Amino acid sequence: MPRSQFAAVTLAVAWAAGFGVGRAAAQKAAPCAANAATARLEQQLFTMINAARAAAAVPPLRRSTPAADAARCHSEEMARRGRLSHAGADGSDIGERLRQAGAAWSRAAENVGEAPSIAAVQRLMMDEPRGQPNHRANILDPHLTRLGVGIARRGAMLFVTEDFYTPLHD
């Protein structure tokens, strides 16, 4: 039976030096390219997440290209390394990766997972207990309004990153 793993992290940080923006925003990281199959999976998972929000009477998320770029690059890195992590190989966290991709944020959260399908990833995240700081809470958080989904494949497994955030300015 294939293994499935997941992890969640939430940052609610308002940095005095730019509230999540800084020099790194001017030095945007080159986006990782999705192939057509991966792009379809990312869109399907994005739609599944918004369906879960709708079922909970939470407003839909808007797609964020910078967050999708950051999420895809992080998923590719996790797939290369063969393990889940919220930290990049360079020690970066979601906040740094979002800034490097050009997103100015006031609150950010990240879900990472590994499973054989996007349905399995979504099921694992949504089956978590209610009212706890976990994947489900990130997905249903009404204060998070933007989402970028990134998926990379390693063998039969999908490495998934969901980067949520609230823009600094709307």
Distance separating alpha carbons of residues 64 and 68, to the nearest angstrom: 6
Angle between helices 65-81 and 36-55 (to 10 degrees): 110
> pLDDT for 66-107, tens place per residue?
999 999 999 999 889 987 778 787 888 989 999 999 999 999
Mean pLDDT of the chain, nearest integer: 82
- pLDDT(20) > 60: no
> pLDDT for 26-70, tens place per residue?
334 446 888 899 999 999 999 999 999 999 999 999 999 999 999
pLDDT computed for residue 25 by the predictor = 36
Distance separating alpha carbons of residues 147 and 151, to the nearest angstrom: 13
pLDDT computed for residue 72 by the predictor = 95
Most confident range, picked from 14-28, 82-96, 137-151: 137-151
Model pTM score: 0.82
pLDDT computed for residue 89 by the predictor = 78
